[in-house]
Structure 1
Amino acid sequence: MLFQIKSYLKFLWNSKNEHGVHSPFVFDLVTNCFYDKKKYPEYRILKDYRNSLLQNKNFIEVTDFGAGSKVFKSNKRQISKIAQTAGISTKRAELLFRIVNYFQPDSILEIGTSLGLATSALSLGNPKSKIETLEGCLNTMTIAKKQLQLQNLNNIELINTEFSNYFKTNNAQPTTHNLIYFDGNHSKKATLEYFEQLLSTISNDSVWILDDIHWSLEMEIAWKIIQNHPKVKVTIDTFQWGIVFFRTEQEKEHFVIRT
């Protein structure tokens, strides 16, 4: 916790709003997406989805995986507590919705479904997109599937799998994903492993969103390595997320933006 507080204070010191952005691409994204104040009707669906989970007092067996297929934690947890502590926040879900709505990606990959809170935002952002969402724990994925069906979110394929194995199996014929949301394993090793394995799926317009880049020192190191990768052109640090673009026409630039 102390590390995250120090990181956040450093973030605030270095961060800017739209007035400190001189890239037309990033300026437009910040002003018309990040700071979009419109009250979208989809926000009500996101809220209903969250409230339904927060009211669910049932317990399920939750299994977490490390990099590779090694199980490192399995315990019983209350669904409402998972939604409260492990799920995306309301503010972040609305921002994720706006990002998808702004870019209108045709193909989306989510790494880490959990209870589907972020998945619902991805789906609502572009109902015409094709979404694949990966989850290692069958029990949480089952809850997510039921919740998504209740909200009639039908553009989603839920896949119960260990992430690294899935990427290795599918890399022979990689699918181009216009947007990837990384929220599956907050370790340096796993983050960089997934990053490298998925580079074959990028297009010039791909958008990657990495969750919890300031979760720990090793996650901050992973973020720095990703920023410096030769294929990466533009990155945006919003503290909670690191957003990556591969646009070859852009000069290499890094931004720290308050949202």
Structure 2
Amino acid sequence: MIYQIQQYFQFLWRSSNQHGVHSPFVYNLVTQCFYDKKRYPEYKQIKKYKSELLKNNITLNITDLGSGSKYTKQNLRQIKSIAKNSGASIKQAKLLFRLTAYFKFQQSLELGTSLGISTLAVALGNKKGTVTSIEGCPEVSKFTKETLNTNNIQNTSIICGDFKTVIPELPKSTYDFVFFDGNHNKDATLSYFNLLLPQIHNDTVFIFDDIYWSKDMTDAWETIKNHPMVRVTIDTFHYGFVFFRKEQEKEHFTIRL
């Protein structure tokens, strides 16, 4: 926690808004998507979904294949506790919705379904697109699959399994969007990043969650930024955005949301 606080103050010091962004691609993304203030009707569905989770007293037996929770080491956890401490915030979910709608992602992949808040946001962002989400915990996977179905979300597919086992078995198609939100570990993050590089195209977007989770994760983020295939990155503190657009000169941005 101390590391994250220190990094947040450093982030505030070096970050900016759209002013001074000279890349038209990044400027448009920041002004038209990141800072979009419209009240989309889908926001109500996202809020309702999370609100119901925060009231849910069901207890699940959690199998952690990644770095685990910073809040508890207990395997038995209530849904409402997971939603409060580990689930995406409403602000984050809204951003994922806007991002999906902005780029019109057709094929999205999520590593780490959890309770499906982010999954729902991406699915709502383009209802004609598909979202494949991988979750390592059997009980969480089963619960979330049923909950999304109850909420009439038809364009998602949840796979239960270990990322390193499931990723090589995925269809060899390209993804428009990959959301890395499962294992906050440097070696694992870099491994999944490299595993999925063959399945990108010029306009694919990667997002890495919790890039300041630990020094380990920040090191992974710095390694990814310096990869020769990466052209543009945007650090928003919680999320790290990666773009592979060959027509862009290599640049790194730090943007306040």
TM-score of the pair, normalised by structure 1: 0.95
Quote the Cα distance in structure 2 between the aligned partners of 1:151 and 1:28: 33
- 1:66 offset after TM fit, Å? 3.6
SS of 1:181's partner is: strand
Choose the corresponding residue for 1:240, options 238, 241, 246.
238
Aligned residues: 252
Choose the corresponding residue for 1:208, options 206, 209, 218.
206
Q: What does 1:60-79 correspond to in 2, within 5 Å? A: 60-66=60-66, 75-79=75-79
Aligned to 1:106: 106
Asked if 2 retains the 8 angstrom alpha-carbon contact of 1:15 and 1:256, the reply is: yes
Deviation string 1:15-57 (CA, Å, 9 cap, x unpaired) is 0101121100000000000000000000000001001111101
2:63 corresponds to 1:36: no
Asked if 1 retains the 8 angstrom alpha-carbon contact of 2:178 and 2:206, the reply is: yes
Aligned to 1:70: none
Asked if 2 retains the 8 angstrom alpha-carbon contact of 1:63 and 1:74, the reply is: no
Q: What does 1:1-259 correspond to in 2, within 5 Å? A: 1-66=1-66, 75-170=75-170, 174-259=172-257
SS of 2:63's partner is: strand
- 1:209 offset after TM fit, Å? 0.6
The answer for unaligned runs of 5 or more in structure 2 is 68-72
Asked if 2 retains the 8 angstrom alpha-carbon contact of 1:64 and 1:74, the reply is: no
Deviation string 1:156-202 (CA, Å, 9 cap, x unpaired) is 111011000112334xx622000001101001011000000000001
Asked if 1 retains the 8 angstrom alpha-carbon contact of 2:137 and 2:160, the reply is: yes
Quote the Cα distance in structure 2 between the aligned partners of 1:147 and 1:28: 35
Asked if 2 retains the 8 angstrom alpha-carbon contact of 1:49 and 1:147, the reply is: no
Percent of matched pairs sharing the same residue:
51
Quote the Cα distance in structure 1 between the aligned partners of 2:235 and 2:218: 11
TM-score of the pair, normalised by structure 2: 0.96
- 1:151 offset after TM fit, Å? 1.7
The answer for unaligned runs of 5 or more in structure 1 is 68-72
Q: CA RMSD in A?
A: 1.2
- 1:74 offset after TM fit, Å? 7.1
